[in-house]
Amino acid sequence: MNGLLGPILVIVWKDILLELRSRDLVVSILVFGLLVVVVFNFALNNAPGRAAELAPGILWVAFAFSAVLAMNRAFVREQEQGGLEGLLISPVSRDAIFLGKVLTSLIFMLLIEAALLPVYAVMLDFSALSLTLVLTIFLGTLGFAVVGTLFSAMAVQTRSREIMLPVLFFPVVLPIIIAAVEASTRAVGGETFVGLGRWLPLIGIFDALFLVICPWIFAFVVEE
Amino acid sequence: MSTRSVEAIEARSLEKSFGEWPVLWDLDLSVPWGQTLVLFGANGAGKTTLLRILATHVRADQGSVAVAGYNLRSRPEEVRRRIGVVGHRSLLYEDMTCRENLVYYSRLFGLKNHNSRVDEVLEKVRLGDRADHRVRTLSNGMQKRAAIARAILHQPDVLLLDEPEAGLDCDSVSILGTLLAEWTESGRSVVMTTHDLDLGLSWGHRAGVLRGGKLNFPGDAGELGSVVNANIRQAVADALGAGQ
């Protein structure tokens, strides 16, 4: 299969098949996401009416930590079973490997977020039926997936990979988290695309930037 | 076979160090088409490192390597298309079946009609009846055979085998020996490492001993025969003695 798309889809097919077999990633992150909202719901019990105001922040705290959990697994299975080595000795470009892993992580995270969002909306009392909110979540998650995949590939080669990933990940995605929280606050408040001002384009610019830089760095990271 | 370069593998002045520790030093290597080169050497002599360099998995510090006529640095993807690798790990996903793993690799290698090819290689390594079993349920020997099936799936020009006989029972070793004989008879080449002197000498057309970062061909690098074999045995014994 030639080109970039074919190998990307093969890698995604394989990762989905493995996840369907093990179900360890999606289930554990779903449970984590639900626990976060339950904890925050109890914590905010004394501040009725403020839940909706704080909802975007809570939402992105949960999504960001869920992303770290998902990313921790992205290359661990490859490393443990030699799959990465198998990919590296196949005639597939490093870009295809990277983008395949990004797409897999993006699909998993979006599925988890799609399951969590209605629960968050009910418990924190905000409307999830907002196209701008959905777009914000998509762009923010894309940024998480791109940056997280790169740092997951780096962290998996270290002994303290579970600690290393968040240490590397959060400082770099901070602009995305800030912009996503701001955009989500406005989206939850009923603003349209125009009302989101600079925040949504800012996430888009960061995504585009990371999509150019990260595959390039990935090629060096996986080179032994 | 896809190419007709002069040699299947041509390496010149290869050097590789890990930190301050030189593993390969000014190493020259050539493997003609249709031959099996067997590499002997003590633990840590650099056999696996050499294979990993040839497999494009580790970058050499110095020197040039061409596999099937393609330079490793400038055309790594062309090289990868033409090599099959069996290492210490099977490179198979344990939660996927043998067939799913091989279909996955077939797609990565862009094989057409991969289903029939997958069946063919599974039969070749006598895993046809285990095709739909998950890899984690197979014994180590069976996993090794599945790894061999993976390596020959895309009919590579050059097979790189790192101690392929390790973990295999007598029947499996015999299957592998037959497969390698067919491989070289069809004009393809094999580079393998082993600690089993008798096996290596019986499978190989040429044998080299890695020692001090260099590859020596006892007996003037000629075809294996009783005199050369005796020289190799002595050289391997010396190398092992030096390695201890």
Nearest to B108 among A7, A21, A77 (CB): A7
- Cβ–Cβ below 8 Å for A91 and B58: no
Distance between CA atoms of residues B68 and B83, nearest Å: 9
Of A39-48, B51-60, B133-142, the least confident: A39-48
State the pLDDT at residue A1: 46
Q: Which of A49-63, A82-96, B9-23, B158-172 has the lowest mean pLDDT?
A: A49-63
- Tell me which chain B residue has its CA closest to the CA of residue A88: B57
What pLDDT sits at residue B68? 92
| pLDDT on residue A4 | 87
- Which residues span the domain enclosing B119? 94-155
Residue B150 within a domain:
yes
Instruction: Please say if the pLDDT value at position A73 is more than 70.
Output: yes
Q: Do B90 and A82 touch (CB under 8 A)?
A: yes
In chain A, the residue whose alpha carbon lies closest to the alpha carbon of B111 is A1
Question: Measured between alpha carbons, how far is A19 from B225 in angstroms, rounded to an integer?
Answer: 53
In a domain, B127, yes or no: yes
Percentage above 70 pLDDT, chain A: 93
pLDDT for position A2: 53
Q: Determine, yes or no, domain membership for B130.
A: yes
> How many CB atoms sit inside 10 A of residue B18's CB?
11
The whole-angstrom distance between B88's CA and the closest CA on chain A is: 10
**What is the least distance, in Å, from the CA of A56 to any CA of chain B?**
38
Whether the per-residue pLDDT at B164 is higher than 80: the answer is yes
Mean predicted lDDT score pLDDT of chain B: 88
With bands split at pLDDT 50, 70 and 90, how would you rate the model's confidence at B220? very low
Q: Quote the pLDDT of residue A158.
A: 85
Whole-angstrom CA distances from B53 to A85, B14, B206 are: 13, 10, 20
Tell the residue number behind the tokens 């790192």, with chain if given: B162
Give chain B's domain count. 1
DSSP A91: S
Annotated domain spans of chain A: 5-221
**Alpha-carbon B230 to chain mean position:** 24
ipTM of the complex: 0.87
B116 assigned to some structural domain? yes
- What pLDDT is attached to residue B218? 66
Structural domain includes residue B53: no
Show which of residues 56-95 on chain B sit within 8 Å of chain A, judged by CB atoms. Answer: 56-59, 77-78, 80-81, 83, 85, 87, 89-95
Chain B residue nearest residue A78, CA to CA: B93
Instruction: Identify the band that residue B108 occupies on the pLDDT scale cut at 50, 70 and 90.
Output: very high
Kindly tell me if the per-residue pLDDT of B3 is higher than 60.
no
Inter-chain residue contact B104 with A81, CB threshold 8 Å: no
Q: Do A91 and B81 touch (CB under 8 A)?
A: yes
CA angle in degrees (0–180, nearest 5) for A33-A37-A43: 145
> Quick one: pLDDT at residue B226?
64
For the ranges A139-143, A145-149, B202-206, B218-222, the lowest mean pLDDT is seen at: B218-222
In a domain, B49, yes or no: no
Q: Does the distance separating the beta carbons of B80 and A83 come in below 8 Å? A: no
The span from the CA of A12 to the CA of A14, in Å, is 5
